[in-house]
């Protein structure tokens, strides 16, 4: 049911995440509204103030604005707008209410002032009515969902986009509230912003070419004349740098490491091709973890096959460590003193695949201003790792097959064959046999690649390795951020072991890196972990050969009172959906747009999740 949104109707606003707002907002005079921007670890909540309507911020009822943060008291502070003046009153809170660095019992605040409620920053802003209903800042979890959707869209339509991570220079110690307005002013209406940490923003730039992202990053990091903190920016582009949401976030995070005001911008270089020197190179700390029986068996096989020149095909989900295994094969073999060249086949434009792999002559095509050696020539005597080999177009598959059979390559624009000696290791998360059956991949090429096939198990099938990975990623994140987080608290570790990690080790790395940045104590706690991880119940993970059913199927069969992992995940999804519906006044079209999903998907989920049955639809309201 669509509720009317006119001047005679009060509307209750409910926000996503761990916060909930029941405060009533009403249309304001033409002069505009006063707004509270409440920054917490998951994002920002915007509270529109009305004259004569007090708003209490706290951790639990009866506060109208409720945010689950341990530094807040149950009823922490009251904000009241009266006769054009805004006052804040501390409600005998434990951690106090602070204005301009001083603890106050009651104080008058103006637009531009910041108020600290415990560890939460509340910024007072003036805005127009139109600005008041716009989303301010996505939570990190919501930004990830939007980014994942953009990857699917861009892959389907052959588009490009970029992710930019912007943070305040460390010595500045600035909160994002200090520079968010300037960042937002430089973006297009279609761009999305997420809160990565208190001093870092993540920006999604749909349809943006790498050069456009670089121009924006340079503009953002240009010295400010208004006293704003110095900014630093890392950039990762799809598909040039990476082709998955987790990898893009990882590359952006890495790109911001070591930046200074003298070098404020870094473009992630892990794109279509990477060339490593002796022993395979690779990122620091990329050594393998093999504490589970399955991975020990994998690396026993690696030790046996590393000295052979035969091709190897690595299968497994994204983030399971296929490149780490490829480097181990190269490093332990007789070619370790030569180069290992890594090619992301999904990141190369179709018209440039053959040129990238086999090189080209000057004038072979528009833009070929000079002769260029290909990947196979660069790796002569060493190893070529073809990541995401299932993404190769048909013409490139035929050329690769010939190179494997003849051990010779021909540059684009030439008829001369060049003899090369390389070992080929290929990897994919796709079902190549199924692609062969449908005509998407050459069967004869598959036979050439899969002389030896290794299937890497997902992280959920080897939970005994989660702690080892977490500690390794923690140490790396401490080094990168000059922090001293001591470890992972038992409760947080139990959640890490219970979560199914669809993004595997890469998703775990990103979770730990962000937790190190936002942790307020010496240990990573449950509240420092991503929202999707916190939703997991501490229970054994499902076996990998019995994958969890999708939400729709599980929701139809979930019994009343179920308290398993699936029930918790379903309840969390339902809460997010209902929060969006309430915020949109039960307008399904607006809610679907806010969630970033098609309307038909939302309608299907409303039916499949049984929201009314689970008690989410208030009396008298219908989600349909």
Distance in angstroms between the alpha carbons of the first and the last residue of the chain: 6
CATH number of the CATH domain containing 326: 3.40.50.300
CA 54 – CA 62 distance, rounded (Å):
12
Nearest alpha carbon to residue 285 among 471, 455, 530, 522: 471
Do 449 and 482 reside in the same domain of the chain? no
Do 380 and 503 reside in the same domain of the chain? no
What DSSP string describes 446-507? HHHHTTEEEEPPPGGG-GGGHHHHHHHHHHHHHHHHT----EE-HHHHHHHHHS--TTHHHH
What DSSP string describes 46-115? EEE--TT--EEEESSTT-SEEE--TTS-SS-EEEEEETTEEEEEE-S-SS-EEETTEEESEEEE-TT-EE
The last residue of one of the domains, among 232, 267, 302, is 267
Do 431 and 321 reside in the same domain of the chain? yes
Do 486 and 349 reside in the same domain of the chain? no
3-state secondary structure string, 323-392?
HHHHHHHHHHCCCCCCCEEEEEHHHCCHHHHHHHHHEECCCCCCCCCCCEECHHHHCCCCEEEEECHHHC
Query: What was the pLDDT predicted at 350?
Result: 84
In a domain, 10, yes or no: no
Do 205 and 162 reside in the same domain of the chain? yes
CATH number of the CATH domain containing 58: 2.60.200.20
In a domain, 540, yes or no: no
CATH number of the CATH domain containing 476: 1.10.8.60
Count CB atoms within 10 A of the CB of residue 609. 24
Do 304 and 447 reside in the same domain of the chain? yes
Do 499 and 523 reside in the same domain of the chain? yes
Overall number of domains in the chain: 5
In a domain, 149, yes or no: yes
User: Helix 599-609 and helix 565-583: axis angle, to 10°?
Assistant: 130
Cα–chain center distance at 411: 38
Longest dimension (CA), the chain: 85
Q: Which residue has the tokens 């180069």?
A: 339
In a domain, 361, yes or no: yes
List average pLDDT for each run of 10 residues in the chain, which is 624 residues long: 32 36 37 81 86 94 90 95 93 94 94 91 76 63 92 90 93 81 90 92 95 95 82 93 91 88 86 59 58 92 94 94 95 94 88 90 84 92 95 92 93 91 95 93 95 94 94 92 90 93 94 92 91 72 36 31 56 78 77 77 71 41 44
Nearest alpha carbon to residue 215 among 250, 257, 265, 270: 265
Do 250 and 331 reside in the same domain of the chain? no
In a domain, 437, yes or no: yes
Residue 314 near residue 328, CB atoms below 8 Å: no
Q: Phi and psi of 401, rounded to 5°?
A: -60, -45
In a domain, 286, yes or no: no
Give Cβ neighbours of residue 135 (< 8 Å, ≥ 6 apart).
594
Bridge partners for 65 per DSSP: 21, 57
Query: What was the pLDDT predicted at 46?
Result: 86
Do 118 and 155 reside in the same domain of the chain? no
The last residue of one of the domains, among 424, 455, 486, is 455
Do 193 and 304 reside in the same domain of the chain? no
Give Cβ neighbours of residue 413 (< 8 Å, ≥ 6 apart).
360, 361, 362, 363, 364, 365, 368
Residue 51 near residue 38, CB atoms below 8 Å: no
Q: What is the DSSP letter of 263?
A: S
The last residue of one of the domains, among 455, 485, 520, is 455
In a domain, 8, yes or no: no
488: containing domain: 460-535
Query: What was the pLDDT predicted at 129?
Result: 46
Bridge partners for 372 per DSSP: 360
Do 347 and 425 reside in the same domain of the chain? yes
Do 305 and 438 reside in the same domain of the chain? yes
CA atoms within 13 A on the CB side of 367: 3
Element (H, E) at 305: helix 293-305
Query: What was the pLDDT predicted at 598?
Result: 75
Q: Which residue has the tokens 């309608």?
A: 603
Q: Phi and psi of 199, rounded to 5°?
A: -120, 15
Residue 43 near residue 140, CB atoms below 8 Å: yes
Residue 413 near residue 368, CB atoms below 8 Å: yes
Nearest alpha carbon to residue 377 among 412, 330, 331, 427: 412
In a domain, 229, yes or no: yes
């Amino acid at each position: 049911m669509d509720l009317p949104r006119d001047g005679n109707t009060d509307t209750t606003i409910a926000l996503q995440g761990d916060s909930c707002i029941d405060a009533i907002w009403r249309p304001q005079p033409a002069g505009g509204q006063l707004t509270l921007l409440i920054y917490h670890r998951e994002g920002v909540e915007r509270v529109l103030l009305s004259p004569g309507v007090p708003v209490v911020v706290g951790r639990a009822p009866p506060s109208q604005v409720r945010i689950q943060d341990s530094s807040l008291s149950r009823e922490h502070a009251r904000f009241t707008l009266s006769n054009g003046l805004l006052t804040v009153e501390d409600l005998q809170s434990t951690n106090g209410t602070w204005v301009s660095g001083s603890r106050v019992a009651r104080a008058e605040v103006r637009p531009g002032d910041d108020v600290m409620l415990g560890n939460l920053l509340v910024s007072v802003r003036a805005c127009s009515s139109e600005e008041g209903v716009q989303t301010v800042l996505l939570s990190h979890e919501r930004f990830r969902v939007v980014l994942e959707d953009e990857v699917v869209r861009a892959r389907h339509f052959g588009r490009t986009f970029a992710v930019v991570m912007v943070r305040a220079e460390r010595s500045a110690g600035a909160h994002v509230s200090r520079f968010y307005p300037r960042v937002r002013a430089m973006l297009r209406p279609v761009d999305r912003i997420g809160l990565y940490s208190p001093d870092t923003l993540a920006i999604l730039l749909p349809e943006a070419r790498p050069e456009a992202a670089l121009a924006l990053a340079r503009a953002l990091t240009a010295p400010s004349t208004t006293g704003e903190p110095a900014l630093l920016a890392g950039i990762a582009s799809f598909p040039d740098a990476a082709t998955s949401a987790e990898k893009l976030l990882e590359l952006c995070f890495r790109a911001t490491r070591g930046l200074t005001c003298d070098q404020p911008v870094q473009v992630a270089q892990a794109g279509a091709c990477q060339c490593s020197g002796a022993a395979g190179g690779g990122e620091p700390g990329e050594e393998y973890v093999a504490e589970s029986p399955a991975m020990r068996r994998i690396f026993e096989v690696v030790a046996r096959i590393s000295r052979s020149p035969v091709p190897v095909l690595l299968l497994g989900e994204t983030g399971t460590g296929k490149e780490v295994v490829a480097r181990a094969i190269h490093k332990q073999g007789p070619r370790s003193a030569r180069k290992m060249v890594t090619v992301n086949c999904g990141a190369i434009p179709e018209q440039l695949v053959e040129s990238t792999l086999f090189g080209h002559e000057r004038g072979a095509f528009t833009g070929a201003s000079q002769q260029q050696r290909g990947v196979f020539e660069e790796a002569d005597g060493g190893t070529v790792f073809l990541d995401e080999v299932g993404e190769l177009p048909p013409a490139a598959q035929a050329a690769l097959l010939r190179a494997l059979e003849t051990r010779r390559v021909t540059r684009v624009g030439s008829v001369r064959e060049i003899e090369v000696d390389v070992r080929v290791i290929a990897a994919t998360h796709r079902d190549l046999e199924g692609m062969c059956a449908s005509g998407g991949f050459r069967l004869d090429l598959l036979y050439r690649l899969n002389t030896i096939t290794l299937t890497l198990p997902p992280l959920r099938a080897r939970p005994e390795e989660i702690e080892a990975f977490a500690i390794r990623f923690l140490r790396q994140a401490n080094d990168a951020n000059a922090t001293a987080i001591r470890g992972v608290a038992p409760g947080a570790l139990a959640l890490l072991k219970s979560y199914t990690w669809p993004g595997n080790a890469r998703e775990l790395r990103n979770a730990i890196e962000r937790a190190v940045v936002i942790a307020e104590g010496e240990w990573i706690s449950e509240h420092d972990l991503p929202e999707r991880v916190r939703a997991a119940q501490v229970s054994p993970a499902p076996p990998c050969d019995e994958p969890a059913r999708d939400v729709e199927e599980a929701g139809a069969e979930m019994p009343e009172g179920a308290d398993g992992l699936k029930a918790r995940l379903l309840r969390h999804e339902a809460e997010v959906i209902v929060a969006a519906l309430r915020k949109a006044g039960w307008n399904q079209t607006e809610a679907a747009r806010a969630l970033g999903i098609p309307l038909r998907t939302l309608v299907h989920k409303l039916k499949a999740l049984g929201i009314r049955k689970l008690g989410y639809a208030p009396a008298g309201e219908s989600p349909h």
